[in-house]
Amino acid sequence: MKALNVIFAATALTLTAGLAQADVRPDHIPGLLKSGEIASFEKLNQAALAKHPGATIHDTELDHSYGKLVYEVELRDAQGVKWDVDLDAKTTEVLQDKQDT
C-alpha cells in the first residue's frame, strides 16, 4: 500500500510540474501582444539571433518558466551547432544561452 501511495504522489507532482511550465496556448498570444506582456516575435527573434550571428531559427515556443513568460528559441549556427536561447518574452533579456547537446 505504501508503494502505491508513493507512485500516486510522484505522478501528481509530475503532472503539476508539467502544467506549471506548459506552453502558452496560441489563442492567448494576440492578447499578450496587445497588452504588452510579450514583445513582438520579430524583436524576440532578433535578440536570439544577435547571440549567434548567421544562425537560423529552427523552433520557438512561448512558455511559463522562471516565474515569467519565456520565449525559447532553438538555433543552428553556421557551423551546424545547435543552441537553445531563452529570452524574457517581455523585455527580450537573454535568460539562458546554451549549446544543445
Q: Is 36 helix (H, G, I), strand (E, B) or coil?
A: coil
Answer with the residue of higher pLDDT: 85 or 12.
85
pLDDT-based confidence at residue 3 (cuts at 50, 70, 90): very low
pLDDT of res. 22: 61
Confidence of residue 16 (pLDDT cuts 50, 70, 90): very low
Buried b (16+ CB within 10 A) or exposed e, 75-97: beeeeeeebbbbbbbbebeebee
Q: How does 12-26 read in b/e, with b if 16+ C-beta sit within 10 Å?
A: eeeeeeeeeeeebee
pLDDT at 100: 87
34-93 pLDDT per residue, tens: 999 999 999 999 999 999 999 999 999 999 988 899 999 999 999 999 999 999 999 999
**What is the CATH code for 2-99?**
3.10.450.40
**Closest to 81 (Cα-Cα) out of 60, 37, 51:** 51
State the greatest distance between any 2 C-alpha atoms of the chain, in Å, as a whole number.
Answer: 57
